[in-house]
Structures are given as C-alpha cells and as structure tokens.
Amino acid sequence: MFQFSYISFLAVSIKHDFYTDKICRDFDYVPLPGTSVLMESFGLRFKNIDGRLSIFQQQDENNLPFQELDAKLDLFFKVNVKTDILNITEQYGSGKYFFSNLKTDGTYNTNLTQNATLSPADGLAEICSQQKVLNFLPRILNTITLRRLSPGTGWSVLGQFPVDSKMNSLEIRVNNPGLYQVEKNLVAGGKEVMTFFMSDELMKSGNTWSLIHLQVKPGDKNLAFNVILTPKKSVWQYFLVEMDGRTGGAIIPASLEVTYKADLPSRYPGNMIIPLKNAGTYSDPEKKYVNAIFSAGRIKAVYLFETADKLQLMEGLQPQVKIRYSNKEIAGKVTIPNRSMTSTTIIYKL
C-alpha cells in the first residue's frame, strides 16, 4: 500500500501593519473550479492556514512528487474578505483586483515581497469575458491592435484591425484566458492603451474582493508570495460639543484640553499633543460637519481637537485619551478610533 506524504509547495500571505506579526487573517482563499481540477490532477492540495493560502504537493514513498509538473500551470484563487480590514487599508478598497506573479514583460517571478512586483495590473481596470465589444466614436481611430502577454516572450501581437470612418465598435474574441492589451491608434495622433484580463471563468466567479493568479512551472517548490496592504493613516479628530445651559457653567475654551498617552508595550507613539484647532483654519468639510452638529439644536459651541500627525490603527495595547478642564479630569476614558469605524472622527458631549 502506498504511503503518501505532502510537502509545502506554495504559500500566499496578505500582510498589513495593523497586526503585530503583519499577517492578515481577514481573507479566505477559494480556487476556481478549473483550478481545483488542475490541482487534483497534479497531486496539489490547498488549505487556508493561519491567514495564508497554503498549497501542498503529494509525495510518494521515495519522497518524490507523485505527479511531476511537466508543464506550466495557471492557478486562480478568489480572495474573499471576512472582516472590516479594508476600513484601515489605503488602497484596494473594493474589488475586483487582479494580482499575479506574471509581470507585464512576460517574465516569471518566484519569490515576491511587495505588491508592486506581485501584479502586472494592481487594480485592473476590468476583468472581462473572452468575447468583448469595444465601442468608440466614428472617425477617431485608424487601427486597433490586440496583444497577449506570453510568459518569457512578453507582449505578442495577435492582430491589427483597420477602422473605417463608419465603424463605431469592434468585437474581439480570444480562445485562451489571459492578460490582453488593446491599443487604439488615434487619427489625431497618439495612442490609447487598455489592459484586460479576459477569462470566461473569472467572469463567472461571482462577487469577490480580488483574484490571485499564480503561474507555476516544472521544478518549482516551496514558493512564497506576499501581497502588502498599505495602512491607512489619518488624523484623529475629537469634536467636543457644549450644550446650552450646561451643568457646571459655560466652557472657557483655553481651559479645555484633550490628552493622549500610550504606555509600553503599545505600538503607538508614547506621547502626542492633541491641540485645539482654530475655527478660522477649518477645512470646508470640517465647517460642514460642525454646521451639521449645530443643526441638532440647543448647541452652544463645538470645539475641534485634532492630532498633529496622522496615525495608523494598530493591534495590541491601545493609547489612553482623556478630557481635562481647568486641570481636572472630566472624562478618563474617551473612545479612540478602531478598525470597525469608517472614519477617525469622534463626537463627545461635554
């Protein structure tokens, strides 16, 4: 009886500085149906393990691949978001995005660490089917050129189509899924270039945040890929609202302060000033926000305190924000922004 074992073949991690260990566990990876069939035929298995997409290769009793890769394989995985992680991410706010280890010059990357090199088209303009109609105004184009990205050779021309004065559309159909480029040559001079990933299967994959394309070749083993999400940074704003007839008397603005402190092992800055902002320096959105607060009625004043520097949200021990008036603490534990909030604006009624 054969005894099979499995060794690590490939891993993909999405990373974000919010986490102490950088590993983002907020996504599920799901192979497309065609990829599942392909992996099965070559003894490849996948699992979601501790936030990573992990692929294993089946080995025989001699610790050799049970089914050797004898050709390049294109593997496609949907990436689904499980939490609110995109609230604190600078780019890639909503799908579909296309990440790949096949670069725009057709060369192949094996060990990637940055999103700039992971994808030939981060935030691809469109994932479309293998049959697409290009629409354009009459008499503005001379020709349309269609190219396909081929591994190792780069962009190759599949066809060049003349455009006459009566044409306002052109239908293109490709036999194989892949990355394609459409170049429109303008009558007035110059070119317009658009890039599409054309795949009937991807179009049918349903709603998903992004798609990962991994090309593997004979001889590959223990590959590692990373997608780096840039943390969103923003100022923290505290709008302190003074009500008419407030108990304790009217507020003297100069005696009001918002304090901040972060003790070790917090990853936030240890100490930081949150000064009162001069109303004369409010931005237009801030003016509108303050006016909206006043519209609730019975509001005497609104005071905006704002961090001098932009901050990113981080996991672990959180800083303490307090409100003091005339050197006395009137609020010892004020809410701070968290990853579930879509903004870092907080309203506090005095």
How far is the C-alpha of 272 from the C-alpha of 288, rounded, in Å?
27
How far is the C-alpha of 155 from the C-alpha of 147, rounded, in Å?
6
Query: Between residues 139 and 112, which one has the greater pLDDT?
Result: 139
Ranges 14-18, 68-72, 133-137, 295-299: which has the least confidence: 68-72
The pLDDT score that the predictor gives to residue 94 is 62
The pLDDT score that the predictor gives to residue 1 is 52
The pLDDT score that the predictor gives to residue 114 is 40
**Domain 130-198 architecture:** Sandwich (2.60)
pLDDT at 113 over 70: no
Against a cut of 0.85, is the pTM above it?
no
Query: Amino acid identity, residue 61?
Result: E
Percent of the chain whose predicted confidence (pLDDT) is above 90: 46
The pLDDT score that the predictor gives to residue 249 is 79
Ranges 12-16, 101-105, 141-145, 242-246: which has the least confidence: 101-105
Q: How confident is the model at residue 262 (pLDDT cuts 50, 70, 90)?
A: very high
pLDDT at 98 over 80: no
Residue 106: strand, helix, or coil: coil
The pLDDT score that the predictor gives to residue 46 is 93
Q: How far is CA 142 from CA 86, 225, 243, 266, in A?
A: 43, 42, 68, 61
Ranges 115-124, 140-149, 281-290: which has the least confidence: 115-124
The pLDDT score that the predictor gives to residue 3 is 65
Q: How far is CA 191 from CA 63, 126, 187, in A?
A: 54, 19, 9
Give the model confidence (pLDDT) of 281-294 as tens digits. Answer: 999 999 999 999 99
Give the model confidence (pLDDT) of 222-250 as tens digits. Answer: 888 888 888 999 999 999 999 988 887 78
Give the model confidence (pLDDT) of 174-193 as tens digits. Answer: 998 888 889 999 989 999 98
Domain ranges of the chain: 5-125+201-229, 130-198, 233-349
Query: Amino acid identity, residue 283?
Result: S
The pLDDT score that the predictor gives to residue 95 is 60
How far is the C-alpha of 250 from the C-alpha of 54, rounded, in Å?
61
Query: Amino acid identity, residue 328?
Result: K
pLDDT at 76 over 90: no
pLDDT at 121 over 60: no
The pLDDT score that the predictor gives to residue 236 is 95
51-65 average pLDDT score: 84
Check residue 294 and report its DSSP letter: H
